[in-house]
Structure formats: C-alpha cells, structure tokens
Chains A and B, each alone.
Chain A
Amino acid sequence: MNASQTDTTLHARADQIYRDGIGSSRASTDRMFAGLMLLQWVGAVLASLLISPRTWIGETSTLHIHVWVAAILGGVIASLPIALAILLPGRAVTRHCIATAQMAFSMLLIHLSGGRIETHFHIFGSLAFLAVYRDWKVLMTATAIVAVDHWARGLWWPISVFGTTASSNWRWLEHAAWVIFEVSVLLLAISRALHDARGVALGRAEAEQRAELVGALVDARTLQLEEARAEAEAASRAKSTFLANMSHEIRTPMTAVLGFADIIQDPSLTPEQRNAHIQTIRRNGEHLLGIINDILDLSKIEARQMGLTPEPCCVRTIVAEIESLMRIRAAKKGITLESRFEYPQPASITADPLRLRQILVNLVGNAVKFTESGSITVVVHAVQVSDAEPILRVDVSDTGIGMSSDAVARLFTPFTQVDTSPTRRFGGSGLGLAISRRIAELMGGTLSVRSSPGAGSTFTLAIPTGDLSGIAIHHQPVAPLAAPDAARNDSRAPRIEGRILLAEDGTDNQRLIAFHLRKAGADIEIVPNGEEAIRAVERADQDGRPFNAILMDMQMPQMDGYDATRELRARGCTLPIIALTANVMQGDRERCIDAGCTDYQTKPINAPSLLGCIALHIERNRSTTTERRGSPEAHAA
C-alpha cells in the first residue's frame, strides 16, 4: 500500500470514527432530552397546580384549565420526542421533533407563568441544551419556530406579545435577533466542537493505524522468533543426531584400531597377518582423521577462519588427478568414471587449488559412494571468456540412487544426512556437501544439485575464473595429461643427520615421533616441557654437543612451547624450531611464527612431511652458519 492509499484509508477511518462518535453522542443526547421532556411535563403540571390550581365563580371552584392544559398538552408535547428518542435514537427526525417540543414547552411554560419575562429564559436554556447535538440544523428549527411565532403574532396579534397594537411590523425581528444572537454564539461553539471532534477522530484513527502496524510488526517478529526457535530446535536436533551418528562413525573405525592393535600383539601371528592388521589399523585411522578434518573445516567456515589462497591453477590437472584418484574406487564397484571438457577453456584460472580439489573430490567421492552401477561423468563446461566475470562450471553427474526434493532441501545443511536412521546404508559425517557449498560461496560461486529418486543426481559447481587477461585460451582439446603416478607420491623418507631435541609431553607421541626420527637417522633427546627444553639446549651447548633442530610441542605443562621458544630466541638460540601443534585454525601458524618458530607442523603427524621439514631447516641452518663463518666479518672476528 502506497502513501496516498494509506492517507485515504486513514481519512476514511477518521471519517468513520467521527460519524460514529457524533452519532453516538446524538443518540445519547436524545436520551437526555427524553428525560428532560418528562421532567418538563411534570414541571408544567406542578407549576399549573402552584400558580393557578382552580378557577372560581363566587364561592365555587373547579380545576383550572391551566392544569388540564399542562397535563394534556404537556403530555402531547413530550410524547413523540420520548418515543422517538427510545425507538429512533440518533435520527435527524428525532432531533428536530425534540427541538420543536422544546420550543412548545417554552410557550406552554410562558403561558402558565402569566407571560413572565423570567420564563422566556427557558427558550435560551433550551437552545443551549439543543447545542449539545452539535447540529446547526436543529438550532435553525428552534430559531425558526420562535421567529415565525413572533412574526405571526406581530402581524396579526401584536398585543399578545408586544402589549400594544401600535408596534412596528418589524418589531418581531427585535425579539428574534436576541435568539439569533445566542444561536450565533452556539453555532460558533458547535463549529469548534465539530472541528475538535474531527481532530480527535483523526488522532484515534492514527493511533489505530499505529497499533495495527505495531501489531503486524509484533506478529511478524513473533513469527520470526518462532521460526528461529524452530530452526534452533531443528539445528539442536540435527546436532544431537549428528553426534549420535558421529559416535557411530568414530567408534566403528576406533573399534577396528583398538581391536587389531590387540591382535597384532599375538606372537603367533605370521608377518603377513601382522602386516594386514597394521594396514587395517592405518586405514581406519585415516578414516577417523578424515572425519575430524571435516569437522574442523566446518568449524573454520562457521568461525569465518577459513582463508583462501587464490593462485593460478590448471583445472585440467586437478580434474585429471581426481579422476586418477577415484577411478580405482569406481572400478571396484563396477562403474565407470570419465571426464569431458567443453571449449573454449582457459589454460588456468585464479582460485584456491586445494579447496577446488577438495570440492571436486567430495562431489566425485559422493557420486562413487551412492552409485551402484552405471557411470559418473565430470563435465567442465565452456567458459565464456568474453564475459566481464567469466564463470567456470563443472557438472558431476551420476546414475546413482538420486534424491527426493525433501532430501535435496536438507542436503547442504550441516550435520544433516539424507538418511539419519540407525540402519542407514552409507556412512560419513554428513558435512562434506555443506563444507563444499560454503567453500564454493567463499570462492564467490555456488554449488547446486538437480536430482530425482532413481534417476541419479547432477551437482553443479560454478565459480568465477578470475581475471583471464594474459591467459592462454584453448579452443579445442589439448594433449591429455599423463595420469599422476601414484608411486611418485610415495617418495622416500629423507635422512636426518644431526641431533634433534624433541619437547613433547605426551609419552605416546614421544615414542611415535622418536621412532620416525631415529629411523631417519637422527640422534634425539626428549624433554616433557618448555623449561626442560631450555635447560637441555644450554646443557648441550656446554657439553659441546649442540642440537641441530628443536621439535617443539606448543601445548605443554609448566612452560608451553610459545614461552619456551620466546625464551630460547631471547637467549640467542638460532636453531630451527619446528612448532608441533594440534591447533589448526587460521592464525595458529602465525602465532607460532610470531613466537619465534621457524616452521609449523600439525598433529596427527605426517611422517614424511615432518621429516622433510626438519631435514630442510637443518640444511638451511647449516648453509646459513657456513656462510656466516665464511664472511669477512666472521674472519675478522
């Protein structure tokens, strides 16, 4: 509704309130006059009994005709107005009959009182009472009766009103003028009262409108609150369900880990059996880590701590890697996995390759998981390179079980799985698609799905390509990429030659890390906290057997890794200090570097990554030290 309509509605309502108010007031005044009529009738009878009760002839008397007149004529005068006030309150005819009756009562009372001038004030009082109607027409009726009465008497019977036969023909106007004078004042008062009544009605209409608006607002807010509460309850239920499912998801691999860990202690196992059990433990451990990583990713996104690192990346390479990675799993289920590119395609786009890979791995992985037979197709659509903001669109289609519209509606909701029943067929955290969509949105894109039960699903990822100026555009297929060699990923663990100080309070982690370091050739010393680490470094220097690097757990009792690193740096320690922490949120790496750490590794450890990192920094530190020793300043010293 626009402002003009609102204004019209407001004034229409104000008019309605005004009319209702005036109507109600006039009906109420009618009832007041009904009472007044009765009172005047009784008053006229009493006055006649008091002033002229009987008429005499000699010593005999009869009831005075004034008494009869007061009783009968007074009753006639009062009867119709009283009836109308009861039967037709608020009607114009009622008001005008009452005005006429009031003037008739004035005449009757003036007559009964012997024409006393004082009784003439009944006319003025009646006009004032009639003004309560706030209807100028009523006053006109009363005034007209007085004026016509005086005009007629002055014309044909002047002695009855002026006491002389020689009065001017216009003298009636003198009498009428006094009535008109009062009526004029009353009309002014009526005009102002009506104006005020209109103002009050408008104010009330505005108040009603405001109340209506406030009511609507309250209703809307209440609805929003109810919806928010419902959503919160649904989220709470989803989290409870999720926790229940996660409990299952975590306990299942954990059962395998703990169970097979017990079994491998059996000395009767053959080496092949032991190796198979160890592989089972590792596979379940990796599965657990995947679940934990999903939860962490979602936490990062919800805490707005997930940062993206856009850089030039080759979509063909990423798709080829995923295809290579997933083909084996797909083949195991007897389904085919293929990719197809439409052209033109840029040689590279600007995006975070890790996150883009994460989304596509998730989509293809889901497709493999929910497809029992048929095929999975990854289609990279043509990029409209001439657009101001070109979009890369990738479809991942499968011939799987598909989903209903209800299932699609809650597909991207965190902690929600399509099947939440205790007997659900497919495992997983239920976070993958939620995380993928959030990452797509962080990239400035979208992730959507088209699906129907039994007809498979198609997930579409659309992300901006970034600026393509200067990027080569392929208009036809280029030479296929060589499939990444899985063996290349299994690079040999680096050798570490030197002394390593391991500051770690967890005995299991001490043993695990020590195992890897010793296996890589390192000589290690283990301390349980930061204070011990500082003392160990000093002691080693004094003994002439300094460390080559320090592996520092950042959360330890007594003195944590941050304080210990700061203290070591303060004492002039230049050794590489590799932070080791389970804190993987955005900013944790910066905190470690700020404290003085050289690099950063996360728990659970990736042994090759950890060893490579340590080896790299030992080598760098050695090179730096050599350079310093060979410099002119060093020789001068």
Chain B
Amino acid sequence: MKVRPLTTIVCLWLGLLGLGVGIIERYAHLPGPIGSEPGAHEQRERPLARMYVHPRCPCSRASLLELASLMSAPGVDADVEIHLYSPADASDDWAKGRTWQIAERIPRARVLIDPEAARAHADGALTSGHLVVRTAAGTVAFSGGITRARGEQGPSPAHDRVLPLLRTDPDQDNTLTLAAVAPATSPVFGCQITHERDCSTRAKR
C-alpha cells in the first residue's frame, strides 16, 4: 500500500503530540520523595495540620489553596501551621513572597519560617506541599500531599481523607480511631524542599 507523504507527516505529528502529552501527564503525576514517618506529639485541644512548603515552588500554591479549602469546610476546627523553608544564611524576606501571602490568608494559620527545613525533616517532609495531620491526642493521622497532581487544585482522594481529621466532633467521623491505628498517606506533588540529606526516603508512588 502506498502511503502518501502528507499522511506520514500527519501521523508523525500526531505521534509527537501523543508523546508530548504523555510526558507532561507523567511529570504532572510524578510524586516527590517522602522522608521518615513523623513521630507523635503532645496532646492538644484540637487537631493540628502542619504543611511544609518551599516558598518558591509554583506547584505548592495549589497545595496551600487545597488546605485553605479544607480549613473553610464546615465543622473544621483545627490548628494550622505552615512552615516555609528558608536557607540558613537567607533573610526572612527570601521566604516572604506570593506563597507567604497565600499562606497568611488561610483561616487560623500560623505562618512560620523553617530555616534549613529542620522542622520539615523532623516530620519526614522532603517535598513541598507535604501535610502532616495530628489528632488532638497527638497521633499522626495523615502524612502526604493533598493535590491530585502537580500544581492541580480540585477534588482528590487525599482531600476526602483529610477533611474528617480536621473536625473535632468524633461523632462526625470514625477516622480518628482508624488513624490511630494506621496513618493515611498520599503522594506529594511539588518541588523538593531541600537537597536530600541523610534522611531516608520513605515512600514514592
């Protein structure tokens, strides 16, 4: 069968398009590394959600917006801390950009500088957008990302898992009980907060 040159060119072009779409889809859904499992904390009056963010990671803004969405949901009564990485010798202004401003607008959020990502590493967060949720009892109930892909805001299974954990009324959900047994996790999509040190990578999707 004789194939016309134009058909060949169109088929090649379609193939390149498919390849390109495949590459960006793969990149969008390629999770970052996760460090060691976070340890338990002291008891508190309310659940605590800590998110670790690289202040200049463009994809993490979606994570912050997802957190804001969770905190705005009815029945949510949790404390929120957002730790923005800052290099050791950098001033505070290095971290105070657009991401900082978004973080400050999240209800009940405390925005903190995390020099050299010490706190992040302590909670096993190596990728920007990593959220750790602890129950009022101090147990780690969730550790991972809350976006469905890199930089993509919107419905996701992680969102559905975290929302009950941020509510204090135990009658609303029994996840607290389950979380005490096995903390939930989810892939994190974002920039790496720091170069990997000697902390071991725990999970990748």
Give chain B interface residues in 158-192, CB to chain A under 8 Å: 159-160, 191-192
Residue interface bits B11-39, CB-to-A below 8 A is 1, else 0 = 00110110011011101110000000000
Residue interface bits B52-90, CB-to-A below 8 A is 1, else 0 = 001011110010000000000000000000000101001
A114 to B6, CA, bound (A): 35
A73 to B117, CA, bound (A): 35
By a CB distance below 8 angstroms, the chain A residues around B90 are 59
Q: Does chain B have a CB within 8 A of A341?
A: no
A524 to B157, CA, bound (A): 149
The reply to whether A93 and B6 form a contact with Cβ atoms under 8 Å apart is: yes
A116 to B151, CA, bound (A): 10
Q: Does chain A have a CB within 8 A of B1?
A: no
Q: Contacts A59-B87, A93-B6, A93-B10 known; A111 to B28 CB distance under 8 Å?
A: yes
Q: Does chain B have a CB within 8 A of A100?
A: yes
The residue on B at minimum CB distance from A79 is: B13
Q: Contacts A61-B56, A64-B58 known; A160 to B148 CB distance under 8 Å?
A: yes
Q: Does chain B have a CB within 8 A of A77?
A: yes
By a CB distance below 8 angstroms, the chain B residues around A52 are 58-59, 151
Residue in B21, B155, B194 whose beta carbon sits within 8 Å of that of A104 in the complex: B21
The reply to whether B20 and A100 form a contact with Cβ atoms under 8 Å apart is: no
User: How far is the CB of A70 from the nearest CB of chain B, in Å?
Assistant: 10
The reply to whether B155 and A165 form a contact with Cβ atoms under 8 Å apart is: no
Q: Contacts A100-B17, A104-B17, A114-B153 known; A56 to B10 CB distance under 8 Å?
A: no
The reply to whether B58 and A80 form a contact with Cβ atoms under 8 Å apart is: no
> What total of chain A residues lie within 8 Å of the partner, measured CB to CB?
39
A574 to B25, CA, bound (A): 134
Residue in A56, A61, A76 whose beta carbon sits within 8 Å of that of B13 in the complex: A76
Q: Contacts A73-B24, A111-B28 known; A58 to B87 CB distance under 8 Å?
A: yes
Q: Does chain A have a CB within 8 A of B152?
A: yes
The reply to whether A160 and B6 form a contact with Cβ atoms under 8 Å apart is: no
By a CB distance below 8 angstroms, the chain B residues around A77 are 17, 20
User: How far is the CB of B92 from the nearest CB of chain A, in Å?
Assistant: 14
Q: Does chain A have a CB within 8 A of B113?
A: no
Q: Contacts A76-B20, A162-B155 known; A58 to B56 CB distance under 8 Å?
A: no
By a CB distance below 8 angstroms, the chain A residues around B149 are 115, 160
User: How far is the CB of A483 from the nearest CB of chain B, in Å?
Assistant: 104
Q: Does chain B have a CB within 8 A of A97?
A: yes
- Ranked nearest first, the 4 interchain pairs of A and B with the lowest CB-CB distance are A163-B155, A52-B58, A73-B20, A115-B152
Residues of A within 8 A of B (CB): 51-61, 64-66, 69, 72-73, 76-77, 79-80, 88, 93, 97, 100, 104, 107-108, 111, 114-117, 159-160, 162-165
Q: What are some 29 contacts across the A-B interface (CB < 8 A)? A: A52-B58, A52-B59, A56-B191, A57-B193, A58-B193, A60-B195, A61-B56, A69-B20, A69-B23, A73-B17, A73-B20, A73-B21, A76-B16, A80-B13, A93-B10, A97-B10, A111-B24, A114-B59, A114-B62, A114-B152, A159-B148, A159-B157, A160-B25, A160-B28, A160-B29, A160-B149, A163-B148, A163-B156, A163-B159
